[in-house]
């Protein structure tokens, strides 16, 4: 959208441009997991010990390996049908709620979308009594540079403090007991189009934070802050010379083409790298054995690839870095010269899997570009890459080079490409998957969307939208727009899938009771069998679910399940009052693909907590 058409106080700058079970069907997608895998994972038992599970949930991904797996066993496939609503809590905010609650001891912490209130809820009190609320008072103008709703993806706990980010590019540390501010640090400038929506990760006394704003031509970075003081320890940029990207003598990418000097400049035209995106608004994982953090970078700016010839490193890539210094150990670019907005920010699950006859330390990544990757996490070598839905932009991934085998018919630039699959939100956007070591399956909430994409010439003005594309999205093959699936990364195949009316935009959690929880945009919170995908239980919430469910042990010893409901985000643009019937390109085409969503959900902002009923008043 030209600056003159920019809408004031727009919470979705991408203005640039009653359901029943029949809406979701489960289908087998191949044989069940191998006997060997099942032999190592006996069936759950309600009486089984929780194998060291402390019952807390101190970071959105549950652990540094990003598995989102809980060893709690009270809720099983046999009794989950009896789940009941235990209590609710209203956040008082009507925007997209994408966060995971935290549970530390007997307290739950919830971060809202803008204005980014932090609530502490006493779980020892009946119904969850409010202990305190912290208000960071973010700048109101930050709402105007939030590309995809004023969302926040959660907080992290460490050393007696809650750490979280605000939309106006600040990171805050709050005393977990009192709610008093410990420190607050300004990390960027909303006047340049920067914002922060991601959840931080705390590693070795450092708070890791990345910026958003690729649709404004910002330059992406990941920053490490001292957890005690908030002082900046290091900052690594996603584009630019090696000194800025923190590439030095220890940088040893697997593919020879990635070993040249200053690729963050040479693979761009002129100074385009200075407004080249490559932000770090997604998920971070940490391997203590290798002492490496892993995170991805966003799409390159501008969306029109004709204006940025070259591979555009290191956008749409993954970095492995030393958490102490920020120096890169290796990097790999998922989508060189990204032509379709396939940000590379998705979660990286750190697993040990039998690959090629031996157990290897791998990184499993369901990537936005439509492929499930398995990488050696020490070297960055791509061991496998397989489509997990309809992919038309590429014919596969060349494992010798690591590069996609492009379909020239789907190239964009200053031309219209039709029937590009997946669409710009990807086969799977930020919504995180989960891994069960019992079933040896990855649980994937994802999208089934395709698009028509045309790059158009645009110019850069700091702090204003910098996109340069017209996009129209629509349902992919089959007519459904969402899928929840189980994927076997060793056999490299889908085991089962559930078709959903709308994109499966919530996160998921899987338990040692072999139950998987996820939410839908048409207001269902569901529990399914981790081995078969069979629907076991569902509950209708007041608003569509795009948040990340968790499970925890309460002070009373019971297992609970919690999720935030509140439709919004990029996928929920249509439910936020936009009018795709006036402009089909509004919200970069996503709202038009979701124009029936308001018929199925209103806005909301409610925490729901569930538990099994007490048996005779005792446990």
Asked if residue 179 lies in contact with residue 118, where contact means CB atoms within 8 angstroms, the answer is yes
Handedness of CA 31, 37, 38, 43 (dihedral sign): negative
Cα distance between residue 364 and residue 442, in whole Å = 9
> Active-site residues: which are they?
215, 299, 341
Handedness of CA 40, 43, 47, 52 (dihedral sign): positive
Cα distance between residue 70 and residue 513, in whole Å = 9
466 token code pair: 């910098």
SS (H, E, C) 406-449: ECHHHCCCCCEEEEECCCCCCCCCCCCCEEECCCCEEEEEEECE
| Secondary structure (DSSP) of 135-203 | -----GGGGGG-BTBS---B-EEETTEEEEEETTTEEEEEETTT--EEEEEE-S-GGGT-B--SPPEEE
Cα distance between residue 443 and residue 436, in whole Å = 8
Number of H helices, E strands in the chain: 4, 39
Cα distance between residue 380 and residue 574, in whole Å = 39
- 10 burial type by CB count under 10 A (0-12 exposed, 13-18 middle, 19+ buried): middle
Q: How many residues does the chain have?
A: 619
Asked if residue 294 lies in contact with residue 363, where contact means CB atoms within 8 angstroms, the answer is yes
Asked if residue 484 lies in contact with residue 25, where contact means CB atoms within 8 angstroms, the answer is no
Angle in degrees, CA 599, 604, 609, rounded to 5: 115
In the block, residue with structure tokens 């009018």: 579
């Amino acid at each position: 959208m030209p600056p003159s058409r920019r809408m004031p106080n727009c919470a979705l700058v991408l203005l640039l441009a009653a359901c029943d079970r029949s809406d979701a069907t489960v289908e087998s997608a191949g044989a069940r997991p191998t006997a060997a895998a099942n032999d190592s994972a006996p069936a759950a038992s309600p009486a089984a010990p929780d194998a060291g599970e402390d019952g807390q949930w101190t970071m959105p991904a549950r652990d540094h390996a990003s598995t989102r797996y809980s060893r709690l066993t009270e809720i099983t496939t046999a009794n989950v049908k009896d789940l009941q609503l235990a209590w609710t809590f209203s956040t008082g905010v009507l925007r997209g709620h994408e966060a995971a609650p935290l549970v530390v001891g007997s307290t739950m912490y919830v971060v809202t979308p803008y204005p980014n209130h932090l609530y502490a809820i006493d779980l020892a009190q009946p119904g969850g009594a409010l202990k305190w609320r912290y208000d960071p008072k973010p700048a109101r103008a930050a709402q105007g540079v939030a590309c995809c709703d004023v969302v926040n993806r959660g907080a992290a706990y460490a050393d007696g403090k809650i750490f979280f980010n605000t939309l106006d590019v600040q990171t805050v540390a709050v005393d977990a007991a009192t709610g008093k501010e410990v420190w607050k640090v300004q990390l960027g400038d909303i006047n340049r189009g920067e914002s922060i929506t991601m959840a931080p990760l705390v590693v070795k006394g450092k708070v890791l934070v990345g910026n958003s704003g690729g649709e404004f031509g910002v330059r992406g970075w990941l920053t490490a802050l001292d957890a005690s003081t908030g002082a900046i320890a290091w900052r690594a940029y996603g584009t630019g010379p090696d000194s800025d990207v923190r590439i030095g003598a220890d940088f040893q990418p697997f593919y020879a083409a990635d070993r040249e000097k200053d690729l963050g400049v040479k693979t761009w035209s002129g100074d385009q790298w200075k407004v080249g995106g490559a932000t770090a608004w997604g998920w971070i994982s940490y391997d203590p054995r290798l002492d490496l953090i892993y995170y991805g970078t966003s799409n390159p700016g501008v969306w029109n690839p004709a204006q940025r010839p070259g591979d555009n490193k290191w956008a749409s890539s993954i970095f492995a870095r030393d958490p102490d210094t920020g120096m890169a150990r290796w990097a790999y670019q998922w989508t060189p010269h990204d032509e379709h907005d396939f940000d590379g920010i998705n979660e990286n699950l750190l697993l040990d899997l039998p690959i090629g006859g031996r157990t290897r330390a791998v990184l499993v990544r369901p990537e936005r570009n439509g492929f499930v990757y398995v990488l050696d996490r020490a070297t960055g070598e791509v061991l496998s890459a397989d489509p997990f839905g309809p992919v038309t932009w590429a014919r596969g991934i060349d494992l010798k080079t690591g590069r996609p085998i492009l379909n020239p018919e789907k190239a964009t630039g200053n031309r219209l490409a039709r029937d590009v699959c997946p669409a710009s939100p990807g086969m799977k956007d930020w919504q995180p998957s989960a891994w069960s070591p019992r079933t040896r399956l990855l649980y994937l909430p994802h999208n089934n969307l395709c698009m028509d994409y045309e790059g158009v010439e645009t110019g850069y003005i700091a702090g204003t939208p910098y996109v340069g594309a017209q996009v129209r999205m629509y349902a992919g093959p089959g007519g459904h727009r969402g899928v929840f699936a189980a994927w076997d990364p060793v056999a490299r195949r889908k085991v089962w899938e559930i078709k959903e009316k709308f994109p499966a935009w919530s996160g998921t959690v899987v338990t040692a009771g072999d139950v998987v929880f996820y939410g839908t945009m048409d207001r269902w919170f569901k529990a399914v069998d981790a081995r078969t995908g069979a629907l076991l239980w569902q509950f209708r919430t007041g608003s569509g679910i795009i948040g990340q469910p968790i499970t925890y042990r309460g002070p009373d010893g019971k297992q609970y399940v919690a999720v935030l409901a509140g439709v919004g985000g990029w996928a929920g643009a249509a439910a936020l009052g936009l009018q795709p019937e006036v402009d089909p390109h509004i919200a970069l085409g996503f709202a038009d693909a979701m124009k029936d969503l308001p018929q199925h959900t209103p806005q909301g902002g409610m925490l729901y907590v569930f538990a099994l009923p007490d048996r005779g008043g005792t446990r």
